Amino acid sequence: MLTVDFSRFPLAPGDRVLDLGCGAGRHAFECYRRGAQVVALDQNAEEIREVAKWFAAMKEAGEAPAGATATAMEGDALALPFPDESFDVVVISEVMEHIPDDKGVLAEMVRVLKPGGRIAITVPRYGPEKVCWTLSDAYHEVEGGHIRIYKADELVAKVREAGLKPYGSHHAHALHSPYWWLKCAFGVDNDKALPVRAYHKLLVWDIMKKPLATRVAEQALNPLIGKSFVVYATKPHLPRLAEGAAAK
């Protein structure tokens, strides 16, 4: 299940991509399939081991085209172990809401992104997330949990302040919002509640089968209750005068 829409976020074979806070690796895998040179980075060692195993399995199965590469590694989002201007593309999905120094993370992403490079940022959307926080303290008051809820204009403003140029945004995963509301209402750790189990089965069916009816329904509902907010931006090229000044 992808949150980034690659029809709005072009990726070319050979692009060097950083999936920052990759988690289970869903976006990293898609970039690998598209022929990119992918680095999946996360601070969770167990998840990185699993991502590395999947990369190897994909290579063995021939799921990635010739020239594509994939590396999984542990790392700190606030101190990325890469030189300046190392990547053509950076993806950070459902990560920034966990990190106290979100401006520091943005600064690191801008540092490692090449001029003209593209970045995709996804966070939980304000409205659906606020409902979750209202229904359940346990939803967010856990170690490593969500520490803030972004409003769309707030996130876009921070992206601009970091020196990036936003060029598009949208909402995603409307069908997942009611699931999390049910989880919060019945207990985030209570997977046995009938409404939660029934809705989970619906989501699994939808992900596996991708029926037209639910695709159309989600597209219609995304502007209203989409679970995630996604913003796309580019790193501008320095004007020639600024480049000359920076070199002195």
Tell whether 151 is covered by a domain: yes
Give CA separation, 61 vs 28, 158, 180, 243, in Å. 16, 41, 34, 45
Residue 142's pLDDT is 85
| Locus of tokens 């090449």 | 114
Tell whether 128 is covered by a domain: yes
Tell whether 5 is covered by a domain: no
How far is Cα 84 from Cα 62, in angstroms, rounded to an integer?
Answer: 32
Tell whether 117 is covered by a domain: yes
What's the structural domain count of the chain?
A: 1
Whole-model pTM: value is: 0.93
Nearest to 3 by CA among 114, 120, 103: 120
Residue 240's pLDDT is 54
Q: Where are the alpha helices (DSSP H) in 62-193?
A: 102-112, 126-135, 152-161, 176-186
| Locus of tokens 């021939």 | 62
Tell whether 217 is covered by a domain: no
User: Strand (E) positions, the chain?
Assistant: 16-20, 37-42, 69-74, 87-93, 113-124, 165-172, 228-234
Residue 144's pLDDT is 84
Residue 242's pLDDT is 47
Residue 152, token pair as written in the block: 């769309």
Residue 29's pLDDT is 98
Give CA separation, 183 vs 122, 159, 165, 173, 203, in Å. 21, 31, 37, 16, 13
Cβ(155)–Cβ(122) under 8 Å?
Answer: no
Residue 115's pLDDT is 97
How far is Cα 143 from Cα 166, in angstroms, rounded to an integer?
Answer: 31
Tell whether 114 is covered by a domain: yes
Q: Look up residue 236 and give its DSSP letter.
A: P
pLDDT in tens, the chain (248 residues): 899 999 999 999 999 999 999 999 999 999 999 999 999 999 999 999 999 999 999 999 999 999 999 999 999 999 999 999 999 999 999 999 999 999 999 999 999 999 999 999 999 999 999 999 999 999 998 888 899 999 999 999 999 999 999 999 999 999 999 999 999 999 999 999 999 999 999 999 999 999 999 999 999 999 999 999 999 999 998 765 444 555 44
β-pair type (87-93, 228-234) = unpaired
Residue 81 lies in domain: 76-173+225-235
Q: Name the 3-class secondary structure at 94.
A: coil
Tell whether 50 is covered by a domain: no
How far is Cα 146 from Cα 89, in angstroms, rounded to an integer?
Answer: 25
What CATH number is associated with residue 160?
3.40.50.150
How far is Cα 27 from Cα 40, in angstroms, rounded to an integer?
Answer: 9
Tell whether 179 is covered by a domain: no
Beta carbons within 8 Å of 4's beta carbon, 6+ residues apart: 27, 30, 91, 93, 120, 122, 230
